[in-house]
């Protein structure tokens, strides 16, 4: 009689503590993303120079989408990593593309002339593309594989180690057209593995 009550109470307490432990050890600042592994939403936006840029025109390349703003302090911190990436991956299939978030052309251009940066950035009026990507702050960086799927999302300034390891593994994955003879499945699982490591 007494022993089953003791067992029940301890089982309930352990369960409750496990739930509390799970809840309290999670990083509440990092939100789960719903679009990892999904096809990246397409867009057709104007660059800071006024040209039109379609995401679909970069299909087959490894695209790194970086949401940023001139008013964003962590973006300033992140900028040297992006510059390093731009020069390190020059001549490869990596394409770095900035998406200006809640900012205007003048301020964005001012930021780039002050801090450097030769890669294109597009303007996102009304943050429609940012919402399409589930962005909730800047900087956020999305790594797209050659098939246009989102392999990894990084919230906050992206460290060079994560940037390089992710892009290296995505570049090592052949585009589906080139690799018609080899199976597609290991390619995608490779990309996902690297995103796991990157986290």
Partner 1 sequence: MTGRRPSARPARPLPVAVLLAGAALAVWGPAHPVVAQDSTMVGVASTAAADTTGGLSGAALDDQTAKVAAQLRCPVCRGQSVLESTATLSKEIQAEIRQRLAQGQSPDSVKAYFVSRYGEWILLKPPAHGFGLLVYLFPIAILLGGLGVSVWFVRSRRAREPADVVHDTGPANEGAWSEGEGDVPGADLSEDERSWLEGALRDR
Interface residue list for partner 1 (CB under 8 A): 12, 19, 31-35, 102, 126-128, 130-137
The residue among 132 and 190 lying less far from partner 1, judged by its C-beta, is 132
CB of 100 to partner 1, least distance (A): 13
The residue among 54 and 128 lying less far from partner 1, judged by its C-beta, is 128
The residue among 72 and 167 lying less far from partner 1, judged by its C-beta, is 72
CB of 64 to partner 1, least distance (A): 19
Residue pointed to by tokens 């369960």? 15
Q: Give dist(CA 114, CA 121) in Å, integer.
A: 15
The residue among 97 and 129 lying less far from partner 1, judged by its C-beta, is 129
CB of 155 to partner 1, least distance (A): 11
DSSP line for 23-79: HHHS-TTSPPPS-TTSBPPP-EEEBTTS-EEEGGGGTTSEEEEEEE-TT-HHHHHHH
Q: Nearest-CA neighbor of 171 among 103, 95, 102, 115?
A: 95
Q: Give dist(CA 105, CA 109) in Å, integer.
A: 6
CB of 69 to partner 1, least distance (A): 11
The residue among 173 and 195 lying less far from partner 1, judged by its C-beta, is 195
DSSP H helix total and E strand total for the chain: 6, 7
CB of 134 to partner 1, least distance (A): 4
Q: Give dist(CA 160, CA 13) in Å, integer.
A: 44
Strand pairing of 140-144 and 150-155? antiparallel
């Amino acid at each position: 009689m007494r022993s089953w009550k003791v067992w029940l109470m301890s089982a309930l307490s352990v369960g409750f503590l496990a739930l509390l432990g799970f809840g309290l050890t999670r990083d509440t600042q990092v939100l789960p993303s719903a679009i990892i592994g999904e096809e990246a939403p397409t867009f057709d936006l104007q660059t800071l120079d006024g040209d039109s840029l379609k995401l679909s025109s970069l299909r087959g390349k490894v695209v790194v989408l970086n949401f940023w703003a001139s008013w964003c302090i962590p973006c300033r911190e992140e900028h040297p990593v992006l510059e390093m990436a731009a020069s390190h991956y020059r001549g490869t299939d990596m394409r770095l593309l900035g998406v200006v978030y809640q900012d205007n052309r003048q301020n964005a251009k001012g930021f780039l002339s002050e801090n450097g940066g030769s890669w294109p950035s597009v303007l996102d009026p009304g943050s429609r593309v940012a919402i399409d990507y589930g962005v909730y702050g800047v900087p956020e960086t999305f790594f797209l594989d050659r098939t246009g799927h989102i392999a990894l999302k990084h919230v906050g300034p992206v460290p060079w180690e994560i940037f390089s390891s992710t892009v290296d593994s995505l570049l090592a994955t052949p585009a589906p057209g080139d690799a018609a003879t080899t199976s597609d499945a290991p390619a995608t699982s490779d990309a996902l593995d690297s995103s796991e490591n990157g986290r």
